[in-house]
């Protein structure tokens, strides 16, 4: 593949750091000191008090919705993006909430703020906003209105490490945020994710939910002692506060995360330079180029036809295949999640048609690879190929 979606995200220096650790006589491989160090270093980089390392971004989504379920056992509605990865919507369903969808803003591919605010009811428990493909999906109006109405904001930043809003890193603004370190993302721990927050209670709950609901996972000694005092008949090492999960990561993941975090800012800078070069050259008469670039941390080049054109989209796909350009149709998550089989019987028939901007991306949008070692000449060749269609 001449133009893959990703290459060289895991470097020799990352592997060498793992190898050096494994050379010890008796290395601990499960969740240990390197995981704790990675969590602390990530929190400092992001600008939050607490981070909990888990085995995937999907698990981060799951635990975040589980936290909401603890607060709202009766359920309720979560305003949820239709253009996102499946685990965002799935985690809402898995915790007994009702997803309420809002159409996207084409300049960010995230949910449109006005649409979000129009969907809020007395049953709304949170807004689960995905920062799609490295763009900043927030507006000041949304942040201020959610604060006024006391509705929690959950940020999915799985594709947008290092992006900012008003100079603050995305993931440090909402009540809870989720990150992914899957191979194709800005940095990788092979598989991995992080749950981040400034809320002390959430931090204690996520630590327990990550490890079977075990009370001993809490760092808050007073809370741990309270559980033990309330359950004197139980072994204090095996008190389970919640019917929870095992989503822990490993020391190898922690080592790789610490190694890659050292160059994350450099990666963000290079990806952004690539995006700007791409947008300067791509044919703006055919393709949408009016994206919100302030604060962006590009994940991939978005290639979205300005107007619906079934003939052009077929010729474009054929040209990309002939030119060995790897692509994903529908942008994030394969397009409009509301069309997926897992939502049949949950949303009304034909509900996907109520989101025309998402529908346009579903049929006429793509993303193609952007990564740190993509050369300027490669970006130029990509644009020439795409413009020739």
pLDDT at 183: 87
In angstroms, what CA-CA distances link 363 with 88, 282, 329? 21, 19, 7
How many other CB atoms are there within 10 angstroms of residue 43's CB atom?
Answer: 19
Instruction: Read off the pLDDT of each residue in 282-299 and give the average, rounded to a whole number.
Output: 97
Q: For residue range 233-283, list pLDDT tens digits in order.
A: 999 999 999 999 999 999 999 999 999 999 999 999 999 999 999 999 999
Residue 73 and residue 70: Cα distance in Å, rounded?
A: 6
Residue 155 and residue 181: Cα distance in Å, rounded?
A: 15
pLDDT at 186: 95
Tell me if the domain spanning 12-261 has CATH number 3.40.640.10.
yes
Residue 103, φ and ψ in degrees, nearest 5? -70, 165
- Whole-number mean pLDDT of the chain? 97
pLDDT at residue 379 greater than cutoff 90: yes
In angstroms, what CA-CA distances link 261 with 43, 45, 182, 211, 266? 11, 9, 14, 25, 10
Query: H helices of the chain, where?
Result: 12-22, 33-46, 57-71, 86-94, 113-119, 140-149, 200-210, 221-230, 251-261, 264-281, 310-322, 356-364, 376-387
pLDDT at residue 149 greater than cutoff 90: yes
**Model confidence at 306, in pLDDT bands (50, 70, 90)?**
very high
**Which residue spans of the chain are classified as CATH 3.90.1150.10?**
264-387
pLDDT at 8: 79
DSSP 62-120: HHHHHHHHHH-TT--EEEE-SBS-HHHHHHHHHTTPEEEE-PBPTTTSSBPHHHHHHH-
Tell me if the domain spanning 264-387 has CATH number 3.90.1150.10.
yes
Instruction: Read off the pLDDT of each residue in 7-30 and give the average, rounded to a whole number.
Output: 94
Q: For residue range 37-65, list pLDDT tens digits in order.
A: 999 999 999 999 999 999 999 999 999 99
Gap between the terminal Cα atoms of the chain: 20
pLDDT at residue 1 greater than cutoff 90: no
Question: What tokens appear for 80 in the block?
Answer: 């949820």
pLDDT at 184: 84
- Could you write out the three-class secondary structure of 211-222? ECCEHHHCCCHH
pLDDT at 9: 85
Q: For residue range 70-121, list pLDDT tens digits in order.
A: 999 999 999 999 999 999 999 999 999 999 999 999 999 999 999 999 999 9
pLDDT at 185: 93
Pairing of strands 124-130, 77-80: parallel
**Which residue spans of the chain are classified as CATH 3.40.640.10?**
12-261
Residue 50 and residue 345: Cα distance in Å, rounded?
A: 38
pTM of the model: 0.96
């Amino acid at each position: 593949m001449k133009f893959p979606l990703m290459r060289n995200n895991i470097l020799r220096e990352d592997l060498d750091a793992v190898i050096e650790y494994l050379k010890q006589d008796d290395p601990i491989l499960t969740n240990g000191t390197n995981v704790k160090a990675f969590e602390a270093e990530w929190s400092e980089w992001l600008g939050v008090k607490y981070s909990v390392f888990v085995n995937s971004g999907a698990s981060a989504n799951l635990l975040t919705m589980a936290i909401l379920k603890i607060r709202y056992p009766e359920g309720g509605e979560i305003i949820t993006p239709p253009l996102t990865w499946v685990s965002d919507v799935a985690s809402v369903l898995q915790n007994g909430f009702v997803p309420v969808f809002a159409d996207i803003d084409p300049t960010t591919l995230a949910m449109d703020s006005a649409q979000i605010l129009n969907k809020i009811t007395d049953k709304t428990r949170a807004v689960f906003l995905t920062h799609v493909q490295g763009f900043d999906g927030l507006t000041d109006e949304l942040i201020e209105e959610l604060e006024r109405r006391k509705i929690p904001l959950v940020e999915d930043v799985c594709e947008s490490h290092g992006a900012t809003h008003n100079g603050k890193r995305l993931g440090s603004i909402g009540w809870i945020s989720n990150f992914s370190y899957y191979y194709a993302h800005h940095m990788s721990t092979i598989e991995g994710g992080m749950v981040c927050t400034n809320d002390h209670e959430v931090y204690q709950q996520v630590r327990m939910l990550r490890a079977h609901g075990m009370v001993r996972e809490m760092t808050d000694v007073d809370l741990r002692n309270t559980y033990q005092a309330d359950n004197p008949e139980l072994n204090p090492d095996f008190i389970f506060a919640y019917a929870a999960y095992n989503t822990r990561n490993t020391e190898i993941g922690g080592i790789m995360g610490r190694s890659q975090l050292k160059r994350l800012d450099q990666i963000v800078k290079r990806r952004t330079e690539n995006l700007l070069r791409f947008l300067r050259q791509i044919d703006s008469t055919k393709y949408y180029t009016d994206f919100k670039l302030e604060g962006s941390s590009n994940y991939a080049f978005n290639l979205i036809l300005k107007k619906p054109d079934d003939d052009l989209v077929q010729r474009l796909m054929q040209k990309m295949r002939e030119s060995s350009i790897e692509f994903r149709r529908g942008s994030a998550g394969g397009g409009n999640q509301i069309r997926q089989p897992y939502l049949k019987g949950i949303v009304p028939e034909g509900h996907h048609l109520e989101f025309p901007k998402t529908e346009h991306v579903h049929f006429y949008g793509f993303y193609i690879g952007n990564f740190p070692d993509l050369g300027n000449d490669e970006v130029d060749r990509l644009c020439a190929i795409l413009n020739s269609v």
